[in-house]
């Protein structure tokens, strides 16, 4: 048996001297060098007695070794769970426990806090960072060739955790075929070739930076400029040596805010792609006016990878996410799942080889979102026009997307409700010029009490990743409710709409 994802992305690259990663801080890594490093990590994982199907949780800073470790997991048949580097120890504990990870790999700077977390759930703890760590040391002594664990297309490759409107995060189980089919479709659709040089400034713990950007480049045999994080000046400096960029909308607003960014800087680029959050039609228009390039917007989710995309040739329509990808079906439905006529607004449902295998050990949540006929209920409100172009008009789910990171208000509200002096709370997303949306919290005090907002803020900081912190908190006498007693979040959103966007 083979290992389809490994074989397609890396299997034939072991002798290839071509550059895979350009490192802006200096130097580069060839395909052959990367394949060798991947094998060393596969060896290190075997040295930890990890078997195919075991889970490994990774909270590692973006660096070439972090990427090699992810592909080392693939080579060893180990299921990897990449985790946001901003998560606190509390947040990490849940993922380790829920996934049953046998090993947690973290940055050396976090080892003290996270080794205790790993130990609590019977997992081992290893370290890896840009400057090395225990796992890098093990990899250094492992051979640069290693056996490739046999896996089938429907074996699981990764868990990506995604929060829900109610309750805790769910581990979306992604198979080898989910990832492979999507990467190959996107290479074709977006015309990626071995000549492409992608500016890669996204994190590698999410679908966008890992399964879209990295897998597409590997499948095409191209190169990436591997930035540790977004820095608009660095992107502009590298643009003349690159062909393409993938980013969340904040990438494009930050480029437009940079006076150095003009048509000349973007002259040799062939493609700018946006996704993970809505790109304002205004940003699309400004970008075209500044550079002559029409940003290609696509739409996807952790559970589905990419589902729709504007075309490479043909009309890239601002404000739309384009038609379904080849091989993917999409329909706009009512709550019962019946398809609505074109032009009407309903919930978007998608089906295809891209759709995940369900939520790890949560059959009832899987059944609630994945229909028996294979259609996945995205929770996004959409409209499809006569030509099949999809417009995302809103969200049926209570979700805030800040700079491409998802924030579920419920998680913050539960924490706020538990603070001294707080009766109840509500968190809403309001427009933010840099992040698109940002959370704002209102708290209702218990009778005769005045919650200490500073102390509440400190507790939020200790428990939740920075990107989830409300950028504004205030006390309110009572939450606005409708006659059914449901909190009217729209009223709160209106009230704070101008807070950051003037």
Interacting residues toward ligand MLC by CB under 6 A? 202-203, 206-209, 229-230, 248, 250, 275-276, 300-302, 402-405, 435, 466-467
Closest distance to ligand MLC from the beta carbon of 229 (Å): 5
Residue 400 CB, shortest distance to ligand AMP, in Å, is: 10
DSSP category for residue 487: B
Nearby residues of 213 by Cβ (< 8 Å), 6 or more positions away: 198, 200, 202, 224, 246
Closest to ligand MLC by CB, 21 vs 401, is 401
User: Which one, 34 or 205, has the nearer CB to ligand MLC?
Assistant: 205
Residue found under tokens 């607004």: 345
Of 210, 227, 283, 223, nearest in space to 252 by CA: 283
To the nearest whole angstrom, how small is the minimum distance from the Cβ of residue 210 to ligand AMP?
Answer: 12
Q: Which residues pair with 380 in a beta bridge?
A: 395
Q: Which does 422 bind (CB under 5 to 8 A by kind): ligand MLC, ligand AMP, none?
A: none
Least CB distance to ligand AMP at residue 291 (A): 20
User: Of 175 and 406, which has the nearer Cβ to ligand AMP?
Assistant: 406
Closest residue by Cα to residue 209 from 265, 275, 304, 116: 275
* CA nearest neighbour of 87 among 161, 159, 158: 161
Residue nearest to ligand MLC (CB): 403
249 binds, among ligand AMP, ligand MLC, none (CB under 5 to 8 A by kind): none
Nearest-angstrom CA–CA distance, 22 and 286: 30
297 binds, among ligand MLC, ligand AMP, none (CB under 5 to 8 A by kind): ligand AMP
Nearer to ligand MLC, 144 or 165 (CB): 165
Kind of pairing between the strands at 376-384 and 345-351 = antiparallel
What whole-number distance in Å separates Cα of residue 162 and Cα of residue 320? Answer: 24
List the single partner that 203 binds among ligand MLC, ligand AMP, none, CB under 5 to 8 Å by kind: ligand MLC
Nearer to ligand MLC, 431 or 445 (CB): 431
Supply angle C-alpha 124, 128, 131, rounded to 5: 150
Q: Is 286 helix (H, G, I), strand (E, B) or coil?
A: helix
Q: Which does 98 bind (CB under 5 to 8 A by kind): ligand MLC, ligand AMP, none?
A: none
* Contact partner, 72, from ligand AMP, ligand MLC, none, Cβ < 5-8 Å per class: none
Phi, psi of 308 (to 5 degrees): -135, 160
Q: Please, are residues 414 and 408 in contact by the beta-carbon 8 Å criterion?
A: no
Q: Which is nearer to ligand AMP, 66 or 392 (CB)?
A: 392
Question: Among ligand MLC, ligand AMP, none, what binds residue 467 when CB lies within 5 to 8 Å by partner kind?
Answer: ligand MLC
**At its nearest, how many Å lie between ligand AMP and the CB of residue 46?**
31
Structure tokens at 405: 């990171």
Q: How would you label 271-299 residue by residue, b for 16+ Cβ within 10 Å and e otherwise?
A: bbbbbbbbbbeebbeebeeebebbbbbbb
Give the one entry of ligand MLC, ligand AMP, none that residue 321 binds, where binding means its C-beta sits below a cut-off of 5 to 8 angstroms depending on kind.
Answer: ligand AMP
Distance, CA of 248 to CA of 237 (rounded, Å): 19
Least distance from ligand AMP to the Cβ atom of residue 407, Å: 10
Q: Is 43:16 a contact under the CB 8 Å cutoff? A: no
Q: Which of the listed partners (ligand MLC, ligand AMP, none) does 162 bind, with a CB threshold of 5 to 8 Å by partner kind?
A: ligand AMP
Q: How far is the CB of 60 from ligand AMP (least distance, A)?
A: 19
- Give the binding site for ligand AMP (CB under 6 A): 162, 207, 275-278, 297, 299-302, 321, 378, 380, 392, 395, 401, 406
Phi, psi angle pair for 142, to nearest 5°: -90, 155
- Tokens 């045999």 correspond to 221
495: Cβ–Cβ under 8 A, 6 or more apart, which residues? none
Task: Give residue for tokens 């739309």.
Answer: 320
Smallest distance from the beta carbon of 34 to ligand AMP, in angstroms? 26
Specify whether the CB–CB gap between 443 and 460 falls below 8 A: no
Q: Choose the contact partner of 395 out of ligand AMP, ligand MLC, none; CB within 5 to 8 A by kind.
A: ligand AMP
On whether the CB atoms of residues 350 and 328 are closer than 8 A, the answer is yes
| Distance in Å, CB of 146 to ligand MLC, minimum | 30
Residue 36 or 322 having the CB closest to ligand AMP: 322
Provide, rounded to whole angstroms, the least separation between the CB of residue 307 and ligand MLC: 9
């Amino acid at each position: 048996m083979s290992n389809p994802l490994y074989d397609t992305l890396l299997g034939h690259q072991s002798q290839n001297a071509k550059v895979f990663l350009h490192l802006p801080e200096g130097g580069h890594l060839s395909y052959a060098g990367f394949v060798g490093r991947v094998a060393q990590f596969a060896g290190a994982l075997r040295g930890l007695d990890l078997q195919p199907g075991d889970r490994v949780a990774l909270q590692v800073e973006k660096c070439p070794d972090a990427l090699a470790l992810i592909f080392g997991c693939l080579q060893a048949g180990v299921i990897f769970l990449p985790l946001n580097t901003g998560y606190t120890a509390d947040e990490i504990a849940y993922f380790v426990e829920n996934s049953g990870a046998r090993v947690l790999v973290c940055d050396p700077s976090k080892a003290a806090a996270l080794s205790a977390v790993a130990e609590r759930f019977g997992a081992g703890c290893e370290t890896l960072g840009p400057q090395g760590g225990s796992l890098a040391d093990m990899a250094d002594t492992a051979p640069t060739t290693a056996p490739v664990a046999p896996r089938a297309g429907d074996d699981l490759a990764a868990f990506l955790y995604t929060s829900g409107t109610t309750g805790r995060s769910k581990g979306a189980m992604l198979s080898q075929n989910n990832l492979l089919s999507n990467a190959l479709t996107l290479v074709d659709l977006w015309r990626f070739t071995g000549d492409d040089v992608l500016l890669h400034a996204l994190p590698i713990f999410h679908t966008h930076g890992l399964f879209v950007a990295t897998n597409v480049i590997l499948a095409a045999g191209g190169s990436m400029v591997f930035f540790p994080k977004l820095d608009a000046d660095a992107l502009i400096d590298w643009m003349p040596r690159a062909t393409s960029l993938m980013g969340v909308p904040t990438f494009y607003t930050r480029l437009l805010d940079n006076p150095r960014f003009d048509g000349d800087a973007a002259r040799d680029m062939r493609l700018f792609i946006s996704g993970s959050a809505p790109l304002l039609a205004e940003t699309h228009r400004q970008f075209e006016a500044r550079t002559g390039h029409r940003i290609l917007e696509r739409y996807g989710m952790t559970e589905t990878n990419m589902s729709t995309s504007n075309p490479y040739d043909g009309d890239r329509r601002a404000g739309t996410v384009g038609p379904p990808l080849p091989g993917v079906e999409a329909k706009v439905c009512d709550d019962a799942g019946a398809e609505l006529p074109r032009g009407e607004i309903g919930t978007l449902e998608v089906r295809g080889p891209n759709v995940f295998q369900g939520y790890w050990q949560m059959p009832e949540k899987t059944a609630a979102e994945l229909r028996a006929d294979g259609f996945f209920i995205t929770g996004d409100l959409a409209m499809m026009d006569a030509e099949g172009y999809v417009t995302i008009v809103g969200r049926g789910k209570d979700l805030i997307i800040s700079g491409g990171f998802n924030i579920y208000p419920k998680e913050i509200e539960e924490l706020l409700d538990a603070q001294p002096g707080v009766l109840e709370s509500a968190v809403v997303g309001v427009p933010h010029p840099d992040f698109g949306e940002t959370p704002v919290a209102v708290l209702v005090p218990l009778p005769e009490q005045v919650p200490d907002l500073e102390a509440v803020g400190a507790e939020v900081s200790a428990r939740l990743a920075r990107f989830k912190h409300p950028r504004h908190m205030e006390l309110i006498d009572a939450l606005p409710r409708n006659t059914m007693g449901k909190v009217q979040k729209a009223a709160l959103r209106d009230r704070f709409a101008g807070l950051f966007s003037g």
